[in-house]
Amino acid sequence: MCCLRQLFLVSLGVTAWALHESDVGMVDWNTKLIGVPHDSPHTAPVFHGDYVLAATNNNVLAALNATDGSIVWRSIYDAEDPIMAFSHHDNSVSSLSGPGGSTLRTYDLETGHLILEKQLHNPVDGRLHEPQNLGISLLRSTNLSLNSTAYFALTNGDSVTHLDETGDTLWTWNSPDQGSLVLYSHLIADPSTVYLVGLAKSFASYTLHVTTLSATTGELIASVNIPANIKDERSKFVAVSSQTGPTTTTCVNWLEDGALKAAVLTPDLKGQIMALPGVKYDRISDFGLSTNGQFLAIKEGGAAHVMHFDAQAYSLRPIWEFGDAAPSQVQSDSHFVGSLGRDGQPRVARVYWSNAHNKAIHQTLTINLSEGKASASGFAFPFQTFDHGVVRHVAFDGSSTGETHENTRTLLTTTTGSIQLWQHDKMQWVREEALASIQVAEFVELPEKKVVMSHAVMDEEGYFERLQRQLSDAKNLPQYLANFARRFATGSYATVTTSAASSSAEDTLTRDAFGFRQIIVAATPYGKLFGIDSSNGRVLWSRVLGLGWAAKVGGTIFPTKMFVTRTVSDPEGPQIVLVTQRRADNSLVDTVLFHVNALTGDDVREEHQSIPRDLLQGLDAVMGPLVDVFMLPNENRTIVMLDEYLQARLYPDTPSAQAEFESFVPSIHLALRTDVPGQRQILGHQLTLNLELSQFYVAYPTWSLSLPPKEEIRAIIPNTRGPVASIGKVLGNRMTLYKYLNPHLTLVLTSSPPSSTLVPAAGGVCDMQATLTENWLVYHYFDDEFSGTGESKGNRVVSVEFYEGDGPDDKTKSSELSSYSNKTLHISAYEQSFIMPHGITAISPTLTKFGVSMKDIIVANRKNSIQSIPRRLLNPRRPKHKPTSEEQEEMLVQYDAVLPDDARLVLSHNYEVATSAVSLPLHLLLESTSLVFVYGLDLFFTRIAPSGTFDVLSENFNKVQLLLTACWACGLRLWLTKPMVRRKWLRERWY
């Protein structure tokens, strides 16, 4: 019975809109992304055969195909389970994740199938270090006698676990001081011994501490403090190992007052400290060849030495010097990366930017250890610094190097978040991974296709000239006729299910028949602005945001908000203004505006566009951080920014904008949050001009909402903008419920800290999603109690509707009421709670042109799919009994606590879409259809018609059928009436 009812409910929901298999790729698109790779040593991207392995800032472990850049597989980790380290071995990739490296996972390299998952310690016991993945290391070793691989995992900086291939723990060793004195960070294993190297705190400096364990039993062999006087935080020490035959020799290197010192480790830890005399080094670093005995030492002058530890001779010596590695006016800092060549010999790649050549230079050092020779050669490659910023990390495929540089492959990660694979001096592929962390996105309408008229007012036009012009104007006539004939014959029209992408070869930016093709302008925290074609997801243009004066010291630009200041209907064409906060590396924060033409990405403030494009330079609008920003609904669409002193600053700051702003001032009410420690408040503000205080309008508090102590404000969610089609709802008994449409209605999400400290911080304590549209509030949370709806734990969706007055036919005109009127609180609310099988990560209502269509709720759920919940199911007025005829008239269905989990309501169907935000356009041509753009990690775009596509021809409209029926009916009538008419004629002749 329950099933039947559910089925009925779903059929109600689905009948309005259902996706057909053939629509896939026509009405929607999906871009799978992995995020910008980490660049810290344990998690930086590496080559492994024809794969590139990377762990990213979006907490994804992924394998890319190095040939074409496609994602072979990816594994998305939870936010509370950050990837700390990964390593690869033959056909598998392993990762350590979670606080302190709590979880070990192993994947199949080719398919990404999870082979093993093992928890090494409870995530609650994870210790946090700075940097996050300090004290976490994962080592795979092959046991030749058993012909199996084994894991050595260093977690929490103090414990080592040895696991066999199936994940069974062979032994565990915990440091007796539990990390309070010694923090181990390096793990080196040879067949008999495990070496643990870490730093121990002493007065004013660090010393080294080494512990050796038996590899078979995990018993402590020795634990020794090496008297090292390490002061420099930056480059602490490097542990290298070198293999000679079956034995592995380990050497620890560190800097002491600029002198390089080394200690060769033996299992019993008895040995001498060596020193390399004569040369003063600035820092030493591991560059990927530590298991082969090489590391990098940089001299004080900037020259870089490739150091080699020879295990046979127990000697440490520089084998190559990059003399000109120092950053200067002509060249940037160099990236060094080492890798083993196909012959097992080390290769070192050095990549830097040369200002002299205006190109990036790649230098490869080929080392032949057996002959003791090394040779370097290089080439320049045209790295597009204005499109991709600066190289942040380099990965190098040593096995691709040969006699020539023809096949040399390098993977670059740039500051704008792109991943590029260069083979010699050609870019093979590029992935714009900054799109995985879009901060703000806006839809911008496209202009209509313009019919180019070559006809100018020319009086003295001769006959032939006119003929020529008209002929040239008519050049599209045959095409038009053919199109017309085809349309007439086959009945193929543009329907809502056809692709909005322009099919013509000359790709001009024009809108399609229904306005589904728009530009999505998206800003990322990697300092890049993208213009994306909403019909196919292609990036149309992109601009790198310039840092302005902060370029000298470095900085980051965080997008705050984006406004569409001009649309297609304006003569200037669509324009957007991006409001950002620039955080310079010297900790100064400024508010910077970028004003861009949305169709091309051109800077509006700049008169002449430079070709090739330079960086997009912004306007330093406010010196200091921003408190609030909004756009006035006036003709000029002036942007008002409140700085930290609550002064209102305008953009554009013109006299007309100033005058318009002054006329708006009395009606501006702002709700700002104040962060007084221990007490959170929301303060209402109004603006006033007091020339004694400031030349700008300044906000002063008018009211305050104090929250209980220690209650934190999670989010302030404004009412979703959108036109309101009707102010009331007519009931079955002809009475009307008037919607509570207070324009100042705002949603504030707060959370109190968990009362018990035993509750683990992880696990989504306050994971609440909410949305407010018109008078309808929908929120989602996880209910841990057994009481309430369903008497069970689970995900709850609560739907609340606010109506004016005490009930039907009570009208208070809430939309026009003053906020200070007592009547604003005179409301009645209908509330209903539902349960859902899965949690959700984002929630948004649909938005249509006039707001007439039903509003569905779109949610992104934890199954990585995007789902719509029909309004009908979420109606808080659903009766708990069998609907009466009056209620049936209102199309109310009986209440059922369970929201059906029907696959046909899933908008993203087969796509796996991991996301966290939903964005909707404001301007549409069709009332029935709403566009949905979902971002977060992946990008997904689709159309949804909550009430069915009532304003376009139905998709099963068939012109052939219509024509056939008409013809058939006509023929029949003719055939029937023919004898009658003939008889009539005959009779006429008789009489």
Partner 1 sequence: MKMVRTLSLLGLILSWSSVIFAVNLHGYIQWNNLCPNYGALASAKVLLDAGKMSGRVTRNGNFSILDVPPGTYVLSVLSHDYSFDHVRIDVSPSEPLPEVRPYIFGTPLLMTTSVSLPYPIVLIPRHKNRYFSPRESFNLLGMFQSPMMMIMVLTGVMMLAMPYIMKQLDPETLDGLKGQQGKAASIEKSIQSGDPKGLSALLSAGEETKASMPVAKSNTGPSTLQQRKGGKANKRR
Residues engaged in binding partner 1 (CB under 8 A): 2, 14, 18-22, 75-76, 78, 105, 108, 111, 113-117, 119, 122, 758, 763-764, 782, 784, 786, 790-795, 835, 837-839, 862-865, 897-898, 901, 903-904, 906, 909-910, 912, 955-956, 958, 960-961, 972, 976
Residue (108 or 461) nearer to partner 1, CB? 108
Instruction: List C-alpha distances in Å: 770 to 716, 739, 742, 767, 832.
Output: 10, 19, 18, 10, 15
Q: How far is the CB of 116 from partner 1 (least distance, A)?
A: 6
Q: How far is the CB of 118 from partner 1 (least distance, A)?
A: 9
Q: Which string of b and e fits 881-918 if b means at least 16 CB within 10 Å?
A: eebeeebeebebbebbebbbebebbbbbbebebbbbbb
Q: How far is the CB of 907 from partner 1 (least distance, A)?
A: 9
What does the angle CA 925 – CA 928 – CA 930 come to, to the nearest 5 degrees? 75
Helices (H) then strands (E): counts for the chain? 8, 61
Q: How far is the CB of 961 from partner 1 (least distance, A)?
A: 5
Residue (713 or 897) nearer to partner 1, CB? 897
Close Cβ partners of 327 (under 8 Å, ≥ 6 residues apart): 302, 333, 334
Residue (239 or 899) nearer to partner 1, CB? 899
The conformation of residue 398, written as its DSSP 8-state character, comes to G
The conformation of residue 833, written as its DSSP 8-state character, comes to E
Q: How far is the CB of 184 from partner 1 (least distance, A)?
A: 24
Q: How far is the CB of 115 from partner 1 (least distance, A)?
A: 5
Q: What distance in Å separates the CA atoms of residue 232 and residue 228, rounded to the nearest whole number?
A: 12
Residue (2 or 144) nearer to partner 1, CB? 2
3-state secondary structure of 980: helix
Residue (113 or 317) nearer to partner 1, CB? 113
Q: What distance in Å separates the CA atoms of residue 819 and residue 361, rounded to the nearest whole number?
A: 64
Residue (689 or 969) nearer to partner 1, CB? 969
Q: How far is the CB of 273 from partner 1 (least distance, A)?
A: 43
Q: How far is the CB of 908 from partner 1 (least distance, A)?
A: 9
Distance of alpha carbon 725 from its chain centroid, rounded?
34
Residue (138 or 197) nearer to partner 1, CB? 138
Distance of alpha carbon 483 from its chain centroid, rounded?
42
Strand 518-524 with 440-445, pairing: antiparallel
Q: How far is the CB of 165 from partner 1 (least distance, A)?
A: 13
β strands within 644-786, DSSP E: 647-651, 670-676, 679-689, 697-706, 712-718, 728-730, 736-738, 746-751, 769-773, 776-783
Q: List beta partners, residue 240.
A: 251
Amino acid in the structure at residue 118: K
Q: How far is the CB of 833 from partner 1 (least distance, A)?
A: 12
Residue (471 or 970) nearer to partner 1, CB? 970
- List the strands of the sheet with 373-381, edge to edge: 335-340, 346-354, 359-368, 373-381
Residue (20 or 487) nearer to partner 1, CB? 20
* Residues 539, 432 contacting (CB under 8 angstroms): yes
Distance of alpha carbon 128 from its chain centroid, rounded?
25
Q: How far is the CB of 261 from partner 1 (least distance, A)?
A: 43
Residue (76 or 307) nearer to partner 1, CB? 76
Q: What distance in Å separates the CA atoms of residue 354 and residue 10, rounded to the nearest whole number?
A: 63
Q: What distance in Å separates the CA atoms of residue 342 and residue 414, rounded to the nearest whole number?
A: 27
Residue (220 or 960) nearer to partner 1, CB? 960
Q: What distance in Å separates the CA atoms of residue 698 and residue 648, rounded to the nearest whole number?
A: 6
Residue (870 or 921) nearer to partner 1, CB? 870
Strand 827-836 with 840-845, pairing: unpaired
Residue (696 or 782) nearer to partner 1, CB? 782
Q: How far is the CB of 335 from partner 1 (least distance, A)?
A: 34
Residue (21 or 233) nearer to partner 1, CB? 21
Q: What distance in Å separates the CA atoms of residue 250 and residue 242, rounded to the nearest whole number?
A: 6
3-state secondary structure of 306: strand
Residue (690 or 792) nearer to partner 1, CB? 792
Q: What distance in Å separates the CA atoms of residue 114 and residue 106, rounded to the nearest whole number?
A: 6
Q: What distance in Å separates the CA atoms of residue 469 and residue 461, rounded to the nearest whole number?
A: 10
Q: Could you give phi then psi for residue 958, rounded to 5 degrees?
A: -130, 115
Give the torsion sign (CA, 445, 446, 448, 450): positive
Residue (744 or 982) nearer to partner 1, CB? 982
Residue (274 or 762) nearer to partner 1, CB? 762
Q: What distance in Å separates the CA atoms of residue 174 and residue 12, rounded to the nearest whole number?
A: 60
Q: How far is the CB of 76 from partner 1 (least distance, A)?
A: 8
- Do you know the residue count of the chain? 991
Q: How far is the CB of 971 from partner 1 (least distance, A)?
A: 12
Q: How far is the CB of 19 from partner 1 (least distance, A)?
A: 6
Q: How far is the CB of 829 from partner 1 (least distance, A)?
A: 25
* Residues 789, 897 contacting (CB under 8 angstroms): yes
Residue (20 or 984) nearer to partner 1, CB? 20
Q: What distance in Å separates the CA atoms of residue 639 and residue 448, rounded to the nearest whole number?
A: 27
Segments in 356-453 forming alpha helices (H): 385-388
- Measured between alpha carbons, how far apart are the two ends of the chain, in Å? 75
Q: How far is the CB of 759 from partner 1 (least distance, A)?
A: 10
Close Cβ partners of 96 (under 8 Å, ≥ 6 residues apart): 83, 84, 85, 86, 103, 104, 120, 136, 137, 138, 153, 155
Q: How far is the CB of 18 from partner 1 (least distance, A)?
A: 4
